[in-house]
Amino acid sequence: MNTGAGEGVNIDWKKMASSWTLDMSQHFCLTVTFRRSAEEIVGIYGADADRFSRVPSREAPEAPRSGTLLRAGVLGEWAFCIEFENFIGSTHAIMRDLSAQTECLVLLTTAKGLTMFSSVVDGEVVERFEPGYPPSTQGRSPHGYADEIHGLVADGLRPVAASLRSIALRVGHSLTTEILHGPLLSVVIDDPDRQALAHPDPPLLFPAPPPGGSGPLGRRLL
């Protein structure tokens, strides 16, 4: 299973109710990176600076069939980027480059039922797991995201909601509906080179799989 790029789903920001919250979405990729600007983030994704615009969700461009729409902003000292269609934020190249000399958190969830949380530091995935499924956990970070998020799921939160709460605790700010609907740096990448994004050189580094397991995707492939 390839978790690097999401298949397209039709997200109509203009019709999205004000009562909507991100944890209701079944298909998105969110990256949150320490001490980077929104402009720097979308540049790492491969966006052209002359195509940037800062617009509310109702004025955001539509993602092309083979491309992706980036919506980026800041949360205190952190910058985030979110995609809902054909996402590339969870590809190895983007995760490696976002995390260069800093920390990047990546939350991926797909319409096929896969949710994945990763903590990436300076080109290395230090913690990676399927929220709510402790046997999937690879690595361990000083922040203990796996223990925290698995615990929140055990207490009754859904995996995406638990992951977003953990991110908010780390960042010190929540990614609210108001922020997501408000003016954000928005740009379309028409046709990213997905092969290059999936196989960067040098590669993104990963921790060893859990003992007796095949990593976070093992449960989904049974």
Token pair for 66: 């083979």
> What pLDDT does 17 receive?
56
**pLDDT given at position 120:** 98
Q: Rounded to whole angstroms, how far apart are CA atoms 77 and 221? A: 38
At 2 the pLDDT is 40
Q: Tell me the CB-side half-sphere exposure of residue 149, using CA atoms within 13 A.
A: 34
**Average pLDDT per 10 consecutive residues for the chain, totaling 222 residues:** 47 58 94 97 94 94 91 98 96 98 98 95 98 96 96 97 98 96 96 96 92 54 35
Please check whether residue 81 is in contact with residue 91, taking contact to mean a CB–CB distance below 8 angstroms. no
Query: Residue 109 forms beta bridges with which residues?
Result: 28, 115
Cα–Cα distance list, 55 to 11, 23, 31, 83, 96 (Å) = 16, 22, 19, 15, 28
What gap in Å lies between CA 134 and CA 128, rounded to an integer?
11
For the whole model, what pTM was predicted? 0.89
Hey, is 56 helix, strand or coil? coil
State the pLDDT at residue 209.
Answer: 83
